[in-house]
Structure formats: C-alpha cells, structure tokens
Amino acid sequence: MTAKINNGKINCILISGKAHSGKDTVADLLALYLPEFGLDSVQTSHLAVGIKSMATTFCGWDGVKDAKGRKLLQDFGEAFRSYDVDVWTKHMLTQVESRVFLPNVLLVPDWRYEAERDFIMGLPLYNVISVRVENSSSPTLEGDAATHISEHGLRPVVGSDLSGYIYDYLIVNDSRDDSFDTLLESVFNLIDGLVVDL
C-alpha cells in the first residue's frame, strides 16, 4: 500500500534521485503547494546539513559541488557513517525536533541510503513517505564522485512499476521543452495521492 499523509505525525517525505535529477525542485514545489491542502507547516531539511557545515568550518569549503567539493562531502559523510550509520539522520532530526513548532510535513530532498529511511520509520513521531525522482537526461557525475556509494545507495527505477522497490511514489523529470509543466503535473499527482483521505 502506498503511504499517505497522517495528520497525527510528522510526515517525512524522503526524496531520492541521482545528482541533478530535480530532487530540490520537487521539494520546492511540494513546499509551495502542500499548504493549499491544509498542510500549513511544511519544512525542508537536509541530511547533509551537518556534513556541509563541517566542510565549511574545517576545510573552508566554498559551497560549490564541483568534483573536489562533492568528493569532500562524500568523504566526510562516509567517515562519520562508518562510526554510526545513523549519525546524519540523528543530527538532522535533532535540529527539526528542537524547534518550538513541529512541522506537519518534513521534506528531505537528499535521501541516499535505505538505512536513513529505516531509522526514521522506527521512530513513532514520524510517518515516512518515499519518493524517487528519475531524470534520464540529467548530467552525470564524473570521476570518483560518480562511483561513490552515496550515488548508488538506492536503486534507480526502471520503467514505472514500483513493485520490488522501496519507493512509494515515482516522479519522472525528463528534460524537454515542456518538462516543467510535466514535472508540475507529476507533483500534483503525488499530492493527490498523499492527501486523498484528508
């Protein structure tokens, strides 16, 4: 059964996809339109927020995700994950839960590992909804960054059947002249699926 919005919990919408597939754009569109369906407290957070903060503080990272910057983030992330696989998930959730008001919906557009989903699913405060964004025409990474486990931790979807996958929803974001209209339509279809019983 496909996951739906649960008004009694924080609805954590995990969004995965390869680099440049449109994950952040999907999160931005959800944040823009979900309030129209009564979900007035929507927050976006990133699993990599702690990684990026450390890279900036300790390495002087300039925020650019070129080959060198992406490799730095990947190496930082994996070094800490090798000690505690849930370290970045815990860090992000601690920040979310430290706020005065908890969101109805938490959008996480940088989901990369099944363990992140499993950890959040194990917490009674959260209802997890998983979304995969596929974009066959997005630029591919090169070098070490392209082969890193963070780029291959979650299986891409082949076709449109989600049987056998861990995703609740699939958004195909192919770059064409009408791609934004198509993407917007896909996001509205996703919202329709999420809020059907509200």
Q: Which residues of 123-150 are buried (b: 16+ CB within 10 A; e: fewer)?
A: eeebbbbbbbbbbeebeebeeebeebeb
Between 157 and 129, name the one with better pLDDT. 129
Mean pLDDT of the region 85-112: 94
Mean pLDDT of the region 108-130: 94
Superfamily of domain 10-43+103-194: P-loop containing nucleotide triphosphate hydrolases (3.40.50.300)
The pTM of the full predicted model, rounded to 2 decimals, is 0.89
